[in-house]
Homo-oligomer: A and B are copies of this chain.
Amino acid sequence: MNKDNESLLFKKRLFKTLESVEDALKLIRESLEDNIVDVVEVDVRNSLHYYSAEDVHALQDVPNYDRSAVDGYAVISSDVIGSSITNPTILNIVEKIYANSSYEMLKPLHHGETSIVYTGAPLPPNADAVVMFEDTKADGLKVQIFRPLSPYQNVSRKGEDFQKGSIVVGRGTLIRPWHLAALLSTGYEKIKVFRKVKVGVMSTGSELTEEWQNTGVINTTKPLLLSLIKEEFCDAHDFGTVPDDVDAIRERILYAIKDVDILLTTGGTSVGVTDLVSDAISSIDGSKIIFHGVRMRPGKPTGMAIVKSKPLFILSGYPVASFTGFEVFVKYAINLLRCSKPLSYPKIRAKLARRLAKPVGVKAFVRIKVYQLNGEYVAEPLRLTGSGLLSTLTRANALLVIDEDVEGYDEGETVEVQLLE
């Protein structure tokens, strides 16, 4: 049998085992139930972009007392009913209270009394409202109040921001700046988080060069993936490029998989006549190919295996196809390992600038350029194929996912696209 017929046979064999995207995700989920990464404790101030490993409950009410929201006079609201400029209520000033005054030291108000409070100051016992300086006139130790107040007017109530015991940050939440500040405000100095997921990349392909040359193909897919890994708040590990040789690929996989939680390979999966990465994986004791070949476009040759109990993703050597494999499958796996969910892209509706057709039974991921025209969003498909074209990524700002059972869309049809930027 000549090599070309072998190639054809391989393609048929591959095609037979193609999974739908949904089934592939299910297989990933089932395979990674025991792969959740360790929990570590970090200072809250250093916790930015970690994922919380627990539901964090507020240790106390925030604010911990009723506090003034303005500068003014704390009063008992029933004392000032009916107050006006022409009929002011006159109260006796008891003390001044600042944001850092201790609640325990405050003098309780009796009827006819008031205390000066600055923004953030705890209200003294019995006070239930604050009248702003603007609505008063002080005269020595007495003050005229020119307006009535409803109970708790101008008061930040105890527990109004966070109630003791309420959840400040849920398990699996990406810690953003406001979560970090909220954790500090409710009394936390440390937080349990999932340690960073370590993701390695190794490329296969004798034709690949690391630097630009006139012959061969510069390996842009590996730097692309390493950067995507960093944008997912993971540690990225570069395991270089190996030639098209099953033994070399196997040795590099065994070397790399020890140090990472997830290993990505690029190439060696659809070009040429044999499937070197699959063969290398199959030659490793206890390894298992979970799926290989997905009914999606681009990214059809994407696969996943378990090697030494760790997930290995077989990605295309082509940048756009590997990008799609990363977006759809690797991100999903990363988030399973830290008990989180992939951040979903915001969606907008836009009018398609030209007709898009695709085969039924294949899920398509089309790079889109969205722009506004006469106050309307227009979605211009950049390319349905062309998995080698980086320019479709640099020019795209959105993604259109076309489901398996859809044949395509007509020009002018309204579609929902995901915004990438």
Interface residues of A (CB under 8 A from B): 2, 4-5, 7-8, 11, 44-45, 48, 62-64, 69, 71, 98-103, 116, 118-120, 133-134, 136, 138, 156, 160-162, 168-169, 176-182, 184-185, 187-189, 205-207, 211-212, 214-218, 220-221, 223-228, 230-231, 270-272, 319, 323, 343, 346-348, 385-386, 388-391, 393-394, 419, 421
Contact = CB atoms under 8 A, between A and B. Distances in A.
Nearest to A219: B184
A388 B161 contact: yes
A218 B319 contact: no
A224 B181 contact: yes
Q: Which of A101, A221, A223 has the most CB of B within 10 A?
A: A223
19 contacts: A4-B136, A7-B71, A11-B134, A63-B388, A64-B214, A69-B388, A71-B271, A99-B205, A103-B215, A118-B272, A120-B271, A156-B389, A160-B389, A161-B388, A178-B319, A182-B220, A184-B218, A188-B212, A189-B211
B138 A4 contact: yes
A389 to B, nearest CB: 5
A53 to B, nearest CB: 18
Given A48-B230, A177-B227, A223-B184, A133 B271 contact: no
A390 B161 contact: yes
A376 to B, nearest CB: 13
Nearest to A173: B394
Nearest to A388: B156
Nearest to A120: B217
